[in-house]
Amino acid sequence: MENGTLALVGSGEYLPPMDPVDTFLLKRLTDTPCVVCLPTAAGEESAERIQYWSQLGIEHFTRLGDAVETVEVIDRQTADDETLSARIRAANFIYLSGGHPDYLYTTLAGSRAWEAITSVLHKNGVVAGCSAGAMIFGEKILGFRALKLGTPGFNYLPGGVVMPHFDEIPGAMMTLAHTALPHSLTLVGIDGNTALVVTPGGYRVIGKGGVTLWNKTGKKRLTEGDLPFESL
C-alpha cells in the first residue's frame, strides 16, 4: 500500500447519503482538494450513461465545495492518452464509479491512466472506488453471474475478494460466493453507503453500514464504531 488513502465503497457513489464518507476522505488530504471522477467502468454502456455518471460526480463534489472535473477515460485508447493521464496525475482525489469490473480492470491494467491513478496514492492522495471500482482492488474479482473467480485484481487488498452491495444480496447468494472462494481468500462484503478505508496504518470502516469479513476462520461484521484493524 502506498502512502495515501484507498476507499472501497459498497454502493451509493455521488449521492447525498455518501456525504459523510466523502467528507471524511476529503479531510484526509493535506492540500486543497482537486477531484477527478472517472466513469471508466461504464465505458461499454451508452454515451448517455457515461454522461450521467460524469455529471453526477461533478454535482456531488461541487455541492461539497470542492474543485472537480470528469476525465472520460472510457476505453483502452483513452486510458493510454497522455493528455488525459496528466489531468489524473494532477489531482489528489480520484473517484472510480460503478459499472463492469472486468472491463474496468482490463481497460486500466498497464495503462498510463493506471500509472497516474497509483501516483496519486504515492503522493498521499485519495483513491476511491465504488462497486466495480472497489472490486478491482481485491486479489481476485468475483464474477456475480457464475459466482466464481475470474479476472485477477490489482491486489491492493491481499487475500481479499470484494463483494459490493452486500446488504442488498440474498443470503443464499452470499453463501454460494463464499463457498466458491479458496480457503486462502477472504470475502469482503461492503454495504451500501459504506467504505472500507485502507491506509498504511491499517483498515477502518466509515459510513452507515458495515463491512463483513468471511473466511475459513469465521465471519465477522465491522462498523464505524469499531476500532481500526490491521489485517483481513
- pLDDT, tens digit, for every residue of 22-34? 999 999 999 999 9
Q: State mean pLDDT over 63-83.
A: 98
The DSSP H or E segment spanning 141 is strand 140-143
Segment 109-125, tens digit of pLDDT: 999 999 999 999 999 99
Q: Which of the two residues, 61 and 146, has the higher pLDDT score?
A: 61
Is residue 146 very low, low, confident or very high in pLDDT (cuts 50, 70, 90)? very low
> In this structure, which amino acid lies at residue 68?
V
3-state SS class at 139? coil
pLDDT in the model for residue 113: 98
Per-residue pLDDT tens digits for 35-56: 999 999 999 999 999 999 999 9
Cell of 75: 476505453
Over residues 144-170, the mean pLDDT reads 84
Please determine, for residue 176, whether its predicted confidence score (pLDDT) is greater than 80.
Answer: no
What is the identity of the amino acid at 22? D
Please count the other Cβ atoms lying within 10 Å of the Cβ belonging to residue 191. 26
Q: Cα(212)–Cα(219) distance, rounded to whole angstroms?
A: 7
Say what the pTM is.
Answer: 0.95
What number of other Cβ atoms are within 10 A of residue 112's Cβ? 20
- The count of C-alpha atoms lying within 13 angstroms of the C-alpha of 117, restricted to the half-sphere facing its C-beta, is 27
Cβ neighbours of residue 152 under 8 Å, at least 6 residues apart? 105, 139, 140, 141
Closest-CA residue to 8 (of 184, 137, 111)? 137
> What secondary structure letter does DSSP report for 203?
E
Contacts of 68 (CB under 8 A, 6+ apart): 35, 36, 37, 57, 58, 60, 61, 62
Residue type, 147: L
Give the number of other CB atoms < 10 A from CB of residue 171. 7
Does pLDDT of 172 surpass 90? no
CA distances to 55, 66, 168 from 19, in Å: 17, 12, 20
Q: Which of 99-103, 150-154, 168-172: highest mean pLDDT?
A: 99-103
Q: Which secondary-structure segment (H or E) carries 23? A: helix 19-26
Which helix (H) or strand (E) covers residue 6, if one does? strand 5-9
Ordered domains of the chain (ranges, CATH) = 5-223 (3.40.50.880)
Determine contact, residues 184/3, Cβ cutoff 8 Å: no
> In which band, very low, low, confident or very high, does the pLDDT at 168 lie, cut at 50, 70 and 90?
very high
What does the alpha-carbon distance between residue 225 and residue 99 come to, in Å, rounded to a whole number?
Answer: 30
